[in-house]
Structure 1
Amino acid sequence: MKKLPLKIALLFTVFMASTSLFAQDFQGKAYYMSKTTVDLDQFGGQDMSAERKKQIQERMKSFLEKEYTLTFTKSESIYKEEEKLEAPGAGGGRRGFGGSFTGGPKYKNVQTKEVIQNQEFFGKQFLIKDDLKNLEWVMGTETKKIGQYTCFKATATIVPTGVDFRSFRGPRGGGDKDKKKDSTATAPKTIDVVAWYSPQIPVNQGPDDYWGLPGLILEVNADRTTILCTKIVLNPAEKETIDKPKKGEEVTQAEYTEITTKKMEEMREMYGGRNGRGGGRGRN
């Protein structure tokens, strides 16, 4: 029974000690590593050897393991993927199938409650503009250190937006019944999220879609993805301009989800037809 008041006291003390360090023109930059795991069985890989699965996962590594930067003030932030050169012969990156699910810069404003993101989907540029959704965080009392920062745990349950590449599944060679089952497979309806935030950096910003806690979010665990902060620079000598993304056809998140879902259904049908009926030879 004594632990809860002690944790709250610690949170309050850290928060009060930190707020005096942040002037109105405060800016920071956080560096994150993102890693996603994939169950290849979802892609028809049940009969693959362990060696073959390992080879495929290595080729997907540049797509599943990425580095980002979050430049933030008290009210605004922009989350960008760090560009890096691919090793010769490496698959993945922004090209090909996986590149169509890689988001561009994401801008968030926690005061005006707006989120704007550039997104390329199969060669077409979109500008997704929507309201910044509140996350129903459940504040915990558990703490841990990430680097030099004391972090507190918070959890939430969210409904994923957009199309996740993991929702794409090819046929498994079991006939029309199995094809129908695969074609209706979807991403999870909800995802449990665990976040770790530090009140030593008293801004309610965070990587990707995550925000709304009394401190910068340094780690996120959601479904098969982990996002971990590896470096923080506060009040750099040269501040960056946080610009809103502007390029692309303007759509809401709901409209973009509808467009991409329709395209994915077309791909499922095409992929299933080629593998189940000899590439569609019987078409007129």
Structure 2
Amino acid sequence: MKLKYILTIVCSILTGLSASAQFVNFPSEGVIQFEKRVNMFAIFKRAINKDNESYMQMAFDQYKKTQPQFKTLKSTLSFSSGATLYTPQPDQQAAGQNFMSFHPAASQPNTTYIDLNSRTFITQKNIFEQNFLVKDSIRNIKWKITDETREIAGYHCRRANAIVMDSIYVVAFYTDKIPVSGGPESFTGLPGMILGVALPHENITWFATSVTEKSGHAATIKPPTKGKPQTNTELKKTVENSMKDWGAIGKEALKPIML
């Protein structure tokens, strides 16, 4: 009798788990809210070198007294099974501008459309008040998936690591519960949606704060159309020529521009 009672309980639990599993939601269309955080103290400190420390250190000390350590920026990622559109929202910390607020890492210049079927992208980049329309193949990122996991915006995510642009170390967290190989900015290529990205050495992160399913949303996902046409290679050459006299600071600023 006791054994029969235990078996009945176990069967009830398994039936409940099976029923729950049937109702797990796997959204293929929707909108993800992202928050980008930039450690401005770290970026400012990296800009100081032996050639400029006489005035840059003084400026850094003053900056720390008047500005927050982290700059926070918000964006949205609209997604469907075939495309994504990453759109920055207006900068809410734009008041009280200072020269570090114009650092490319402290802004969100990219509106990026990715066609997941053709593996191409179209990005409208606003660089130094000039719009470029960059069309090219999406970056082929060689991810290494690990066993580390964490929860982001209510989704169980797995960690993956990679190197992009030859030197930028990337940590990403993706979920296979959203069966779209997309992510913030131009980060793609994992077996599910990327909900978190960290560039530890660049002191920048993007993490999702919410995911909203929206049926029929695919029709609203359209590429940007304004800007001077360029490929990635052409844009890099254009920006390098513009910053050729910037020295080490120019090389550092090029990374977030081309990301």
Instruction: Report the counterpart of residue 209 of structure 2 in structure 1.
Output: 230
Gaps of 5+ in 1: 1-12, 160-188, 272-284
State the TM-score, normalized to the length of structure 2.
0.72
Q: Which moves more between the two structures, 107-116 or 117-126?
A: 117-126
Instruction: Report the counterpart of residue 224 of structure 2 in structure 1.
Output: 245
Task: Tell me if the contact between 2:73 and 2:92 (Cα under 8 Å) persists in the aligned partners.
Answer: no
Q: Which moves more between the two structures, 225-234 or 147-156?
A: 147-156
Matched, 1:116 2:116: no
- Counterpart secondary structure, 1:250: strand
Q: 1:34 to 1:154 in 2, by over 3 A?
A: same
Instruction: Report the counterpart of residue 200 of structure 1 in structure 2.
Output: 177
Q: Which moves more between the two structures, 227-236 or 46-55?
A: 46-55
Could you tell me how far 1:123 is from its partner in structure 2? 2.8
Instruction: Report the counterpart of residue 139 of structure 1 in structure 2.
Output: 145
Matched, 1:257 2:236: yes
Task: Tell me if the contact between 2:29 and 2:216 (Cα under 8 Å) persists in the aligned partners.
Answer: no
**CA distance in 2: counterparts of 1:203 and 1:17, whole angstroms:** 20
Matched, 1:43 2:53: no
Structure 2 residue aligned with 1:106, among 101, 104, 112? 112
**CA distance in 1: counterparts of 2:126 and 2:155, whole angstroms:** 36
Structure 2 residue aligned with 1:52, among 59, 62, 84? 62
**CA distance in 2: counterparts of 1:132 and 1:18, whole angstroms:** 34
- Counterpart secondary structure, 2:58: coil
Could you tell me how far 1:97 is from its partner in structure 2? 6.0
**CA distance in 1: counterparts of 2:23 and 2:120, whole angstroms:** 27
**CA distance in 2: counterparts of 1:190 and 1:17, whole angstroms:** 43
Gaps of 5+ in 2: 1-17, 251-259
**CA distance in 2: counterparts of 1:103 and 1:96, whole angstroms:** 11
Q: Which moves more between the two structures, 254-263 or 77-86?
A: 77-86
- Counterpart secondary structure, 2:235: helix
**What value does the CA root-mean-square deviation take over the aligned residues?**
3.4
Could you tell me how far 1:47 is from its partner in structure 2? 3.3
Could you tell me how far 1:141 is from its partner in structure 2? 1.6
Instruction: Report the counterpart of residue 81 of structure 1 in structure 2.
Output: 88
Could you tell me how far 1:109 is from its partner in structure 2? 1.1
State the TM-score, normalized to the length of structure 1.
0.67
**CA distance in 2: counterparts of 1:262 and 1:131, whole angstroms:** 23
- Counterpart secondary structure, 2:240: helix
Measured against aligned partners, the alpha-carbon deviations of 1:105-129 in whole angstroms (never above 9, x if no partner) come to 1111111111111112223221111
- Counterpart secondary structure, 1:259: helix
> Which amino acid letter does the alignment assign opposite residue 194 of structure 2?
I
Q: 1:42 to 1:240 in 2, by over 3 A?
A: same
Structure 1 residue aligned with 2:164, among 140, 158, 165? 158
**CA distance in 2: counterparts of 1:114 and 1:92, whole angstroms:** 36
> Which amino acid letter does the alignment assign opposite residue 231 of structure 1?
S
